[in-house]
């Protein structure tokens, strides 16, 4: 599947993909155990989410014994770039400034982080 043609992810799929990115590879059991205890999700649900992420092109797997070991098939930076780009296009007509303003006003961003962003915009 082409990199730019991957279907969007659900919030649960995104959470699972983030865990696999963090660990670089994981079995269903490892993802299941890594989820916060507050998440009431079954082992079978995790297996389904991992399979869906593979079908969508975000993950790949290999067999280790009887277990599937999942690993990223999509680079984190590529997924973030596309997801944020889609968000900016849909909500703000392609203009990233309103998103940045919203984040600056409502996300609890620190003064130090704002200064780092200023430096980035100067380089751009």
Domain locations along the chain: 9-72, 76-123
CATH architecture, domain defined by 9-72: Orthogonal Bundle (1.10)
Record the tokens describing residue 34, joined without a space.
Answer: 């890594």
Q: What is the pLDDT, as a whole number, of residue 4?
A: 57
The region, left, alpha or beta by phi > 0 then psi within -120 to 50, assigned to residue 74 is: beta
Mean pLDDT of the chain: 92
The per-residue pLDDT for range 14-47, each reduced to its tens digit, is 999 999 999 999 999 999 999 988 888 999 999 9
Residue carrying structure tokens 């989820």: 35
State what percent of residues in the chain have pLDDT above 90. 73
The CATH number of 76-123 is which of 3.30.200, 3.30.70, 1.25.40, 1.10.4040?
Answer: 1.10.4040
pLDDT beneath 70, residues of the chain: 1-4
Same fold across 9-72 and 76-123: no
Q: What is the pLDDT, as a whole number, of residue 74?
A: 94
């Amino acid at each position: 599947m082409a990199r730019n043609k991957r279907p969007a992810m659900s919030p649960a799929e995104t959470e699972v993909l983030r865990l696999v990115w963090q660990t670089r590879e994981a079995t269903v059991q490892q993802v299941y155990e890594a989820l916060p205890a507050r998440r009431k999700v079954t082992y079978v649900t995790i297996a389904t989410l991992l399979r869906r992420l593979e079908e969508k092109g975000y993950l790949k797997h290999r067999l280790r014994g009887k277990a599937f070991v999942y690993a990223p098939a999509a680079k984190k930076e590529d997924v973030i770039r596309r997801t944020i780009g889609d968000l900016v296009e849909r909500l703000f007509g392609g203009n990233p400034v309103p998103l940045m303003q919203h984040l600056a006003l409502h996300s609890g961003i620190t003064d130090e982080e704002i200064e780092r962003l200023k430096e980035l915009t100067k380089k751009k």
